[in-house]
Structure 1
Amino acid sequence: MARDKTLLVGVDGSDSSIRSVYYVAEMVEARENFHIVLFHVLPSIPPELLEFGGAEDPGIEQTLDETLKKEQADWIENTKLAAEPIMENAKTILHQAGVFPSRITALFSSSIHRPDIARELIEMAHKQNCGTIVVGRESYSSFKEIFHHHVGEELAKKGQGFAVWVIA
């Protein structure tokens, strides 16, 4: 798929995220040469699943490590399942606008550490050969905007080589 015709859309279930999906649906509609990658960044894994205290016995250490990895994988899978309705809603919006299912890919981040959302979006855009990154922007009062940092601003700074659409 051509890079300039592949869009990465950050989807998190917020109103602005849904507006961005509607915007992309309107822009792309049934055009056959576009591909849309819906991308959901998973929340941070709980601290208790990041590490354990260790053990002096190597056998016990290995068992604890394997248990922790399984618990992490289970948590990630359950978190993906919880986000699936958000992704299905986004797919439905695109389908109703005429975007063929074969032109839509839905992906989730897989990082177990606190996500740097802008970095995750940029890395996935690279991996999926996207030329455009689309994110929603929540409305904030002018007072809150002074103290609020937004992923769209980070993408504008760090996303060299990408078109960045921030949908309000």
Structure 2
Amino acid sequence: MRILLAIDESESSHRAVKYVGSLLHRTPDVAITIFHVLKPMPRGLLEHGGSESPAVEAQMDQQLHKDQEDWIRKQRESQCHVLQSACQTLKDSGFDIQRVTLKFGHEDDIARNILEEARGHETIVVGRHGMSRIKRLFGGGVTDQILRDAKGFAIWIVE
């Protein structure tokens, strides 16, 4: 069984990690992917201004790609503690961290990024943040989007 554990830096995510670790630490056939979505890439790194010259255009494309990779690398380094902390929480619960994979995403649409990463997993686990009545009424929030759009997954929501 493969579980995608989608986390952020919130207390509800921490509770979800603790819950999964305490529930599944003695289940040897479970593999967990801990997944954290980075903040969206700045607009200035999404595209360049373009050029009439194919040679200049190619050079601008190459530089943009390098700048995007540098930004992603820096974000991963700065957010690595989120994944490491979750992994340590699983380890502290007795879960064998040899069965844990750490991964990052980096898209604007967090829920869509989680659902794309969930391919190949049977279960998605998320923590639910507190939300206002208005958001709850109109179905806002990442967890609600996952509930609405996920097909073919078991979904665990930890509050």
Same-fold status (TM-score > 0.5): yes
Q: Distance in 2 between matches of 1:117 and 1:143?
A: 20
Aligned residue for 2:118, secondary structure, equals helix
Aligned residue for 2:90, secondary structure, equals helix
Q: How many residues align?
A: 159
Mapped contact 2:31–2:100 kept (Cα < 8 A): yes
List gaps (5 residues or longer) in structure 1.
Answer: none
Question: Structure 2 matches for 1:19-168, cutoff 5 A?
Answer: 19-111=15-107, 114=108, 116-126=109-119, 129-143=120-134, 145-146=136-137, 149-168=140-159
Mapped contact 1:30–1:97 kept (Cα < 8 A): no
**Sequence identity (%):** 35
Asked if 1:10 corresponds to 2:3, the answer is: no
Q: How far is 1:141 from its partner? A: 4.0
Encode CA deviations 1:76-102: one digit per residue, 9 max, x unaligned.
Answer: 111111110000000000001111121
Structure 1 residues 141 and 118, CA gap change in structure 2 (3 angstroms): closer
List gaps (5 residues or longer) in structure 2.
Answer: none
Q: How far is 1:29 from its partner? A: 1.4
Q: How far is 1:140 from its partner? A: 2.6
Mapped contact 2:106–2:113 kept (Cα < 8 A): no
